[in-house]
Each structure stands twice: as structure tokens, then as C-alpha cells.
A and B are shown apart, each in its own frame.
Chain A
Amino acid sequence: MTTPKSLFEKVWEAHAVRTLANGQTQLLIGTHLIHEVTSPQAFGMLRDLGLKVAMPHRTFATVDHIVPTDQLVEPYRDPLAQAMMDELRRNCAEFGITFFDRATGKQGIVHIVGPEQGITQPGTTIACGDSHTSTHGAFGAVAFGIGTTQIRDVLATQTMALGRLKVRRINVNGRLRPGVYAKDVILHIIRVLGVNGGTGFAYEYGGEVFDRFSMEERMTVCNMSIEGGARAGYVNPDQTTFAYLKGRPYSPSGAAWEEAVIRWKSFASDPGCHYDDVVTIDAASIAPTVTWGINPGQGISIDERVPDPTQAKAVDERTSIEEALAYMKLRPGTPIKGTRIDVAFLGSCTNGRLSDFQEVARFLKGRRVAPGVKAIAVPGSQIVALQCEKLGLDRIFADAGFEWRAAGCSMCLAMNPDKLVGDQLCASSSNRNFKGRQGSPTGRTVLMSPLMVAAAAVTGAVADAREVFAVNQN
């Protein structure tokens, strides 16, 4: 009998090359995903050192952060954005890297493209110069966000130096109530465990809720692992995973498919394996959750009131509540429900996939965005856009008063023309509500599930989607 192991341990051991002098591991990175924002400096360092890309066939590029979602033709209005685009093209051509450029029809947010193409596979290691690389863990991969210097390392050696993480198993058991989504699950987890509760850990998500979740729901949760401080987050691969991957462009086919499935299954955590920590959450206790503050851990259920700093248990907590409320221009102890919004944003690598738009469209049909609210729906990839358009979802969004845009990161962050103005408040399906995140130094973000964004859009205020759309009766 071999000792039972977690998926993390198995993947780690399969990819550990050797132990370095500082005790870290030289870890083989099977798949390297790159985008225009964090890679150019790394290529520059590579050139300075006279090095080549070690495994160009395991390096894949896309462009997402800077692309305008309302302009397809180049040159882009912003010359800096165009320069980054040109630089990525040049680097990919020079080093022989596959680039899912807009002309391929496969462009999109890197964390949507990888899974969509079947590049993201169980039992693999993935790195990308982007914090939300944890998304790919939904497939039972160990996926890390890395910095530019590490991108250089992975380009040059297909490895990086890394200390081993501990593993925390997070069980979510029971059933989610109607109107409660994967986004609420992760906002709840972060609220409970804190924004740095996951430091030093990889999160293994499991339990009945995850067993039932689709791949897209699993991705939503894994995506925000980093917002809870966990460098990586994953779900063990199962039939749902294999069914998703079958027939994708980079998935194995024919006899290789059967072999791959057997291998992938073998990576799943063994029963009785060791976890450094275990947390169990009752699904029924999770409500539609929204943030009220300036980090993703500052969340409350839609029925709650924003905290009152005078009730804080510690000075620290008091200061951070005060700072957040002042920035958000919210009064202590008031209900979050009813807070006026200016902008509604549907999209991002957290919630910019087909099922997100399908679910919203189901309820949005026949409704109208409230007067004065700017609402945009931004598919996470060109393929998602096409799928939505084939189903006529774009028309449902447009009829409701949403602008239907081209694929990109859009208003998730301030690197393209989609930005908040002044202190606008945005109901957003993205993953970060940091000060200034959405492009205006005083812009305000309230994170929530896509359906809650739709509810806010049609009522003009933070609202309970279950009431607005009579979700219980559906």
C-alpha cells in the first residue's frame, strides 16, 4: 500500500526536477500561458541574457487586458495599447509561440482561452503572469500566478523555483439555495477565511456542491482562490472534467484520449490523504453575497447591513472598516440593498463564460436596464461571444439595454477604454474591488454574481436577484 496522496502532492512530485540550494524546488511547468501586459519585460530580460524559449510548443499567448472591446480594427486609439499588441506579436513570431490573436477567432481572456482550447488539463502544472491563473485548477491542474522575472525563468527553462505549498481541503456540502451561485460560494469562502487566510496554501475544493458543479462553475471558484490569499486552488478531476475536455482542439484524441483519462484520474486525491487543514461549509448557509468594501473579503449577504466601525472588535478592524466605508461612500450600518449604482459590468475571467450569459439571459429577457445605468456585457473570449450570438443571447442583452461588446478583460481593470468615471459605483461580476481598480481613482466596485449584476442593472440599485427575477419560482 502506498501512502495516500493529494492531487497537489502527486502533481508536484511528477513535476519536481530537483531541489535547489535554497531548499526550493525546481518545478517543471508543463504549460506556460502569456499575455501582453506581463510578458514583454520578460522577453526583454531573455534577450538581455541571450537566452531562447526552452519549450515554445508549451507556451501559448493571447491578448486580453488592453484590447478595446468596442474597436476591432488596428491601430488602436491608444498608442500604448497598440505598442503592447505589436510587442507580443513580435515576440511570439520571433520565438515560435502560438498566439491566439484576434484574427484567429480564438482570442480571449487567458483563463478562458486555455480551458476552451483544451490546453488546460488535469495533472499538469500551469503558470501565467497573472494572479487569476488559479482558474485552471478547476481541471485538477496545479496552476500558479507568477511575476515577470518568473515568466523569464519559465520561458528560458520551462521551470521555476518554488517552495511547496500546504493543502487546505474546503468542503462545501449540501445544496445551494436557488439564486445562489458559484460566485457566492467563493465570496463566502473568502469572507469566512479572510483575504490572506490562504497564504502558503493551495485550496482543494470539494464536497457535494463541487461534485455537482459544471466546469464553468468550478472555474469561477478557483479563479478567486488568490483573492483569499491561496496561490493555487483546484478541484479533483472527474467525469465532468473529462466530458468538458473531450473533442477540444488541444485535447488528446483516439487511443491517446483513453490513456489520458486513465492518467488524469490517477492524479485525483486519494481517499484518506493528508490535508494540512480542512474547512467544511454548509451550502445552505450561503446567501447571494456582495462586497461593501475595498477588498474581496469585505462581503456580506444581500440582506445584511454594511458594518458599523463602532461595533468592530479590534482597532485594526475598525480602521479598515472606516477606510472602506469612506472610500465606498457608504454609511455605517445601512442595508447594502438599495445602494444606487451607475454602471453594471458583466464579464471577466471570473464570470465571462457562456453559462454566465445564459443564466442571466434566462431572467433578463423582456426586462430593461434602469434609466441612467450604463450596462455592458463582455464575453470572455471570441468563442464565448460566438456561442452567445448563435443562441441569440446578444439580442436579449441588447434589447434589455446592455451594450454587447467584443471579448477582453474590459472593465475588470483599467487598462483599456472601459473605465469608471469619477466616483461611479459599479455592480460587477469581476473579482477585485480594490480602490481604483476599474479605472477611476475614486471609482467604486461592488462584486457579485452575474445574476445579481443583472438585478442591479434593471433596478438601478444593489438588489436581491431572487426578488427582482422571482428566482424561487423558476
Chain B
Amino acid sequence: MALAKIPSVTGRAVNVPGNDIDTDRIIPARFMKCVTFDGLGEFLFHDVRKNDDGSDKPHPLNEPRFKGATILLSGANFGCGSSREHAPQAIQKYGFRAIIAENFAEIFFGNCTTLGIPCATAARSDIARVAAAVEANPATEVVLDVAAQEVRFGGQRIVVEVRATARDALVHGRWDAIGELLDGLPAVQSRARALPYLAA
């Protein structure tokens, strides 16, 4: 299976500030009653974006000037909570292609990588610089250079980190493991024969 190589992501960015933004906040559980992921995007951050009557709450994603942003900025421990892939799926279906945050919850990070969404970590003060530039001019072009581990925007540059395994997978188009895992099936079968509990 040939997968796209993702050495960088270029687009506009939006800052959704806060620490410990959990998967239930990203996509409330009641929207997960679905048998396909299509349509999850519109419910991204639903409960912090919408009032009970369906009207908008103040939230960066509700601001027209940030419409079309493809890079999401946030704080520490982003994506904590559930292992459900609905959260990264909702983020992707909404239109985001990359996330830059102080750090990420483990499972969420893995789930994003598997979907080809680079998750870059950066110092809070550096994320604040990107956020300030975007705030001042939402049309600012932001480049997350996965390979070079840096973000370039409006003539500025910050250092980010994309964990080596994820970086390698994204840059070389190996972010979805299925092809390689299938190649290993003969080895899987022989390994399985050595484990009595796997006998049919």
C-alpha cells in the first residue's frame, strides 16, 4: 500500500488554548454512536462550541476568520482520556492536518500518527508566538516542517519535536502500519505456534 509521504504540513493555524483537553471534550461520547467515522467533523469540540439551543458559544473554531485552518495549536496533555479514535478522526474530518501542542497523551498521539496527522510538541512560549502571529493575522501561512522539526510562520521560526518513530513514519509514508504488518504474517504464524494459548 503506497501511502502519502508527509514531510511537512502547510496551512493556516488556529489556537485552541488549554491544558488537558480530553477526548470527551474533543468529541463528546454521545456523538460516537456511529458505525462509520464520516460526519464526525461537524461535532468537533461540540459542547464547548455550542449552547444547548444550538447557538454558538465563544470558541476559536466558531470565528469565521479561523475557518479553513488546517493546523491546530493547543496546550499540555492534549488528547488525554479515551483511546477512541473518534477524537483524531473528528479532528481530521473537520479539516485539520497537523497538531502542535506542548505535549500529547500517549494513545492519542499514536492514533493521530496512524492517521497521518503529525503531532509536534513545542515549548509553551513558542506555541504562544505562533498563536500571537495567527491572532494578529489569521491568514498567516504556517509551515510545520516535520522533517526539519521546525515551524515557520510570518518570517519567524520555532523549534518543535516530532518523536523519531512518528517522524520517520510520516516522512517516509509508513504512518499506516498495515502493509508492513501483513508482510510479516508468515513470521506471525510461526511465533504463534510457540504460544500454547493460541492453539485453535
Q: How far is the CA of A274 from the CA of B163 in the complex (A)?
A: 25
Q: Mark B44-72, 1 if CB is under 8 A from A, else 0.
A: 00010000100000000000000000000
Is A241 interfacial (CB 8 A cutoff)?
no
Q: A159-B181, A200-B106 are in contact. Are A149 and B29 (CB under 8 A)?
A: no
Chain B residues lying within 8 Å of A196, measured Cβ to Cβ, are: 77, 80, 103, 105
| B165 x A22 contact (CB < 8 A) | yes
| B176 x A415 contact (CB < 8 A) | no
Contact residues, A124-142 vs B (CB, 8 A): 124, 129-131, 133
Interface centre among A23, A80, A199 (most CB of B within 10 A): A199
| A159 x B184 contact (CB < 8 A) | yes
**Shortest distance in angstroms between B129's beta carbon and chain A's nearest beta carbon?**
18
| B47 x A37 contact (CB < 8 A) | no
| B84 x A320 contact (CB < 8 A) | no
Q: How far is the CA of A347 from the CA of B177 in the complex (A)?
A: 37
Chain A residues lying within 8 Å of B196, measured Cβ to Cβ, are: 256, 259-260, 263
Q: How far is the CA of A33 from the CA of B68 in the complex (A)?
A: 38
- Partner of B83 from the list A44, A81, A84, A131 (CB cut-off 8 Å) is A131
Q: How far is the CA of A148 from the CA of B134 in the complex (A)?
A: 33
Of A52-60, A332-340, A370-378, A395-403, the one with at least 4 CB within 8 A of chain B: A52-60
Chain A residues lying within 8 Å of B138, measured Cβ to Cβ, are: none
In the complex, residue of chain A having the shortest beta-carbon distance to the beta carbon of B82: A131
Of A98-106, A354-362, A381-389, A435-443, the one with at least 4 CB within 8 A of chain B: A435-443
Chain A's interface size range is: 35 or more
| A157 x B83 contact (CB < 8 A) | no
**Shortest distance in angstroms between A343's beta carbon and chain B's nearest beta carbon?**
17
Is B135 interfacial (CB 8 A cutoff)?
no
Chain B residues lying within 8 Å of A15, measured Cβ to Cβ, are: 191, 195
| A157 x B106 contact (CB < 8 A) | no
| A148 x B36 contact (CB < 8 A) | no
| A146 x B32 contact (CB < 8 A) | no
Q: Mark B168-190, 1 if CB is under 8 A from A, else 0.
A: 11001010111011101101100
| B191 x A17 contact (CB < 8 A) | yes
Interface centre among A58, A66, A159, A260 (most CB of B within 10 A): A159
| A160 x B33 contact (CB < 8 A) | no
Q: A17-B191, A147-B88 are in contact. Are A30 and B168 (CB under 8 A)?
A: no
| B35 x A41 contact (CB < 8 A) | yes
Chain A residues lying within 8 Å of B36, measured Cβ to Cβ, are: 40-41, 44
In the complex, residue of chain B having the shortest beta-carbon distance to the beta carbon of A196: B77
| B181 x A160 contact (CB < 8 A) | yes
Is B141 interfacial (CB 8 A cutoff)?
no
Q: How far is the CA of A8 from the CA of B118 in the complex (A)?
A: 29
Q: A163-B165, A436-B24 are in contact. Are A87 and B30 (CB under 8 A)?
A: no
**Shortest distance in angstroms between A160's beta carbon and chain B's nearest beta carbon?**
7
| A295 x B80 contact (CB < 8 A) | yes
Is A434 interfacial (CB 8 A cutoff)?
yes
Q: How far is the CA of A309 from the CA of B176 in the complex (A)?
A: 43
| B30 x A152 contact (CB < 8 A) | no
Chain A residues lying within 8 Å of B89, measured Cβ to Cβ, are: 148
Chain A residues lying within 8 Å of B128, measured Cβ to Cβ, are: none
> A-side interface residues toward B, CB under 8 Å?
14-18, 20-24, 26, 28, 30, 37-38, 40-41, 44, 49, 51, 54-55, 57-58, 66, 78, 80-81, 83-84, 87, 121, 124, 129-131, 133, 145-150, 152-153, 156-161, 163, 195-196, 199-200, 226, 229, 231, 256, 259-260, 263, 294-295, 316, 319-320, 323, 413-415, 432, 434-437, 439, 441
Q: Can you list 26 A-B contacts with CB-CB less than 8 angstroms, sorted by A residue number? A: A20-B177, A30-B195, A40-B35, A41-B85, A87-B35, A121-B197, A130-B83, A146-B107, A147-B114, A148-B111, A149-B85, A149-B114, A152-B178, A156-B182, A157-B178, A157-B188, A158-B188, A159-B188, A161-B180, A163-B165, A195-B20, A199-B106, A229-B80, A256-B196, A295-B80, A434-B24
* Chain A to chain B: the 3 pairs with minimum beta-carbon distance, closest first: A145-B83, A147-B111, A147-B85
